[in-house]
Amino acid sequence: MIKLLRVDHRLLHGQVAFSWTSFLQADCILIASDNVVNDQLRLTTIKLAKPSGVKLVIKNIEDSIKALKEGKTDKYRLFIVVESVGDAAKIAKAVKTIKSINLGGTRPKENTISVSKVVHLTEEEINIVKELSSDGVEVEVRQVPNDTRVNAVDLIKNKIS
């Protein structure tokens, strides 16, 4: 069962590894990233951040979607973490059981709008968030589980209007 799909450019770190994993009672973390699978340093760093007693799987986006659709992850309380809004959208569009995406942190870069102190979106990502929302997928912003859930589309409207 998929517990949460989270976008966090840092992938697996303290907040994710401990706060979210225990809050979700997740027993498996899937890092879905085309970049990480070929980066030995990042692979090693992510493996070091894994909480004990939790399975860690690292796959590219295509293989992650395939595993999710084939039911290979159904036996786990699965926490999926991706680096970008685009990656989250690819997975959510392919795996229809995903009805909620958490935006936990996206890196500020050129041509981004800060919709919260830790979420910075390009125009393309804003359009993706709006599209996901209109398709019935909740996109919420929250760094840690105890934070109040804030609808990403509402934040975007407040920043753009």
How high is the pLDDT of residue 17?
82
The length of the chain, given as a count of residues = 161
Helix, strand, coil % in the chain, rounded to nearest 5: 40, 25, 35
CATH class of 2-160: alpha beta
Active site residue 9: no
Stated pTM of the model: 0.94
Indicate which residue of 9, 10, 13, 130 is catalytic.
13
Domain assignments of the chain as residue spans, ordered by start: 2-160
Q: How many helices (H) and strands (E) does the chain have?
A: 7, 9
Summary mean pLDDT of the chain: 94
Q: Which residues of the chain have pLDDT under 70?
A: 161
